[in-house]
Every structure is written in structure tokens, then in C-alpha cells.
Amino acid sequence: MSVAQISPEKNTLFAIERLQGIAGEVRFDLYGTVYDQAYSKRCQEAASKLPPNIEVHWHGHIEQERVARALAEAHALYMPSMGENFGHTLLEALIAGRPLLISDRTPWKELERKQAGWDLPLEEPKRFEETLQRLVDMSPTDHSALVGGASELGARYLSDPAGVQRSLALFSQ
């Protein structure tokens, strides 16, 4: 799933295009308002060309109080954005125990080492495809390890006063 504006900055088209060759059943839920109508149309066209085993569901805006529940129903948060100053949705996903599949253009680093997901370079789209396939093929035991790692990373961030202060500082800018 993804919780982000449908926009070039959030790289929605890249996310959809990486699904093209994935084997196995995939449901990609997109939550977010359309920022750019022409870009959204390109995303919808790309989604319509995906094979039948890949479903893309467009949900539009999601109320903040519903985000945690939507995350809890997802396998992972997939958001290869062009950049994030912080990525509050990423923290919400970690707190919900959802592994992240994101770009390396956020402050969230070394996710694989922390067993909380992956932060990959956008210049290597094949790595996103391989990781998506890995998620689809993952055993429940391996997924549970990622869920635990994601939860632990989210809890560690919340218990760190410096991290909380950095988050608050973003809102005062």
C-alpha cells in the first residue's frame, strides 16, 4: 500500500511500473489525493496495463484517523518517493509494524539491516522489482520477522527524545 499524494514527487508511476513483472497475487492500495491530473492519468493507464494477477486500487484521500487501520491491513508500505524531509507516514507504518519499501531519499536508512524493510536507490529499478517479488514470495515466518523489526524501529524512534524533538521542529518551520 501507499499513503501519499498521487504526484511525480511521490513517484507513483515508478511504483506502479515496478509491479509489471511480479509473479503471484498482488494488491496495491493507493491512498492519497491527486496532485497532478495528467500524471494521475498516466498512472491509471500504467495500472490498466498490468497483468491480471496485479490489482491496483485507488482509494483517494484517507482521513488521518483511518490510516493506522489501513496500514494494519497491509503487507508493507511501498512508497519509492523522490524525497522526504521526514516521512511521517513512514513512521506511522513502522509503528503499525509494517515493513517499508522506500527510496534511499529519506532519513530512514539501513532498513534491511534493522529488519524493518528496504531503502533502495531509485537509479536501480530492478532492485525494487526483486524486492517486491521477495515480499510476494516471503514466508509468514520471514514476514513476521520484518513486522517485529518495523515495530521495534518505530518504538525506538518514539522513545528517543531527540527524535521526537526533530519531528516537532519540522512543524515549526
70-123 confidence digits (pLDDT tens): 999 999 999 999 999 888 999 999 999 999 999 999 999 999 999 999 999 999
With a cut of 80, say whether residue 52 has pLDDT above it.
yes
Domains and CATH numbers, the chain: 2-171 (3.40.50.2000)
The pTM assigned to this predicted structure is: 0.92
Q: What is the mean pLDDT of the chain?
A: 94
**Exposed (0-12), middle (13-18) or buried (19+): which is 163, by Cβ within 10 Å?**
middle
4-17 confidence digits (pLDDT tens): 999 999 999 999 99
Report the C-alpha gap between 68 and 85 in whole angstroms.
21
> What does the pLDDT read at residue 161?
73
Q: Can you read off the three cell numbers belonging to residue 137?
A: 514470495
> What does the pLDDT read at residue 173?
55
> What does the pLDDT read at residue 48?
98
Pick left, alpha or beta for residue 32 (phi over 0 → left; psi -120 to 50 → alpha; otherwise beta): left
Contact 116, 146 (CB under 8 A): yes
